């Protein structure tokens, strides 16, 4: 069997908390136990939220926990043209269309149905936009995103999309992906020529990632990722979506909620050994 490759891929849009620590340690521990490789990837495609100080803190926090990683670290912001070229291949196959709708227009025309993240499914009003009107919007340099024409994409599939999901006991189950639940998903944003879904799939493949270990909140995203793997003719990793670390109210930890950061715990005198023990790992690497 090929050497296993694991990765931890945080976004530098805030400081790491216990949930990030759990996911990073779980990947790192699996790499150690299997003689595998552990990669760190910085997913910084969001220019409005990514900050150098947050990226610096990621390195400091992981090192404090005793985690080491291979160099060089892949930073997604340095590879935007790579993602854009891949998306262009889908566009040339007629699988995408430009969407010029503003947020308010999307909300007004949106379906009552929701995607797995809870957002209204896009109505598809730009899918059949009159060619002359579309050209007019292009010529006026009106901002747009690139969306999947999900109905057309699914018609081109020759077989069901499946992937292996490993539970905590390492028993595998086969899951059939249902990318249609995402509707006409955005593959390239107005401000960035890619999206999380595209960049993560392409990077996992080019870095040779064999095992994707991440939070259960990303399980539904795997349906869309499995579709992209098929369209780009990429290998499918093994997946394990672990339980989330919750706060005292039973809600998942989140940067946006101001969950206590690892750097704050460190300032309070909490040791790496205490963090590891609290998360269910041995006190030493």
pLDDT in the model for residue 105: 79
pLDDT at 111: 66
Residue 137 and residue 169 share a domain: yes
Same domain, 100 and 2: no
pLDDT of residue 109: 61
- Together in a domain, 86 and 180: yes
55-74 pLDDT, tens digit per residue, is: 999 999 999 999 999 999 99
Mean pLDDT, the chain cut into blocks of 10 residues (285 residues total): 94 95 97 97 96 98 98 98 98 97 75 86 92 96 97 91 87 94 96 97 98 96 98 97 82 71 95 95 76
Structurally, the chain folds into a number of domains equal to: 2
CA 225, 144, 54: angle at the middle one, nearest 5? 60
In this structure, are 226 and 87 located in the same domain?
A: yes
Helix residue ranges, H only, the chain: 18-34, 52-64, 80-92, 103-109, 131-139, 150-155, 196-206, 221-232, 262-267, 272-278
Query: Are 33 and 152 in the same domain?
Result: no
- Identify the pLDDT of residue 259: 77
Contact 55, 23 (CB under 8 A): no
Give the model confidence (pLDDT) of 143-179 as tens digits. 999 999 999 999 988 889 999 999 877 689 999 999 9
According to DSSP, the residues that pair with 267 across neighbouring strands are: none
Please indicate, yes or no, whether residues 147 and 284 belong to a single structural domain of this protein. Answer: no
Give the list of residues 6+ apart from residue 127 with CB closer than 8 angstroms, or none. Answer: 97, 147, 149, 184
199 in the same domain as 111: yes
What is the average pLDDT score of the chain?
Answer: 93
Using CB atoms within 10 A of its CB, is residue 260 exposed (0-12), middle (13-18) or buried (19+)? middle
**34 lies in which domain range?**
1-72+252-285
Question: Are residues 153 and 59 part of one domain?
Answer: no
Residues 103 and 209 placed together within one structural domain of the fold: yes
Same-domain pairing of 105 and 230: yes
DSSP-derived letter for residue 211 is E
pLDDT of res. 84: 98
Is 225 found in the same domain as 115?
A: yes
Residue 226 to residue 239: CA distance in whole angstroms:
11
12: exposed, middle or buried (C-beta count within 10 Å: 0-12, 13-18, 19+)? buried
Do 120 and 225 share a structural domain? yes
Contact predicate 143/192, CB 8 Å: no
């Amino acid at each position: 069997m090929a050497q296993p490759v694991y990765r931890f891929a945080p976004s530098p849009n805030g400081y790491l908390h216990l949930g990030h620590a759990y996911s990073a340690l779980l990947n790192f521990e699996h790499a150690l136990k299997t003689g595998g490789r552990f990669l760190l990837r910085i997913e910084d495609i969001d220019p409005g939220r990514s900050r150098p100080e947050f990226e610096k803190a990621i390195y400091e926090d992981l090192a404090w926990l005793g985690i080491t990683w291979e160099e060089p670290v892949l930073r997604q912001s340095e590879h935007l043209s790579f993602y854009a070229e891949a998306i262009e291949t889908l566009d040339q196959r007629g699988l995408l269309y430009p969407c010029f709708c503003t947020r308010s227009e999307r909300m007004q025309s949106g379906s009552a149905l929701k995607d797995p993240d809870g957002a209204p499914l896009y109505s598809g009003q730009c899918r059949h936009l009159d060619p002359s009107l579309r050209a007019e919007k292009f010529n006026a340099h009106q901002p747009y995103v690139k969306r999947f024409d999900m109905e057309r994409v699914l018609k081109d599939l020759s077989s069901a999309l499946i992937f292996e999901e490993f539970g905590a006991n390492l028993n595998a189950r086969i899951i059939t992906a249902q990318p249609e639940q995402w509707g006409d998903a955005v593959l390239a944003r107005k401000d960035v020529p890619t999206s999380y879904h595209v960049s993560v799939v392409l990077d996992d493949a080019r870095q040779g990632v064999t095992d994707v270990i991440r939070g259960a909140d990303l399980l539904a995203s795997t349906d869309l990722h499995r579709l992209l793997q098929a369209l780009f003719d990429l290998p499918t990793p093994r997946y394990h979506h672990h339980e989330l670390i919750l706060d005292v109210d039973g809600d998942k930890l989140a940067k946006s909620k101001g969950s206590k950061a690892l750097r704050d715990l460190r300032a309070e005198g909490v040791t790496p050994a205490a963090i590891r023990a609290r998360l269910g790992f041995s006190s030493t690497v």
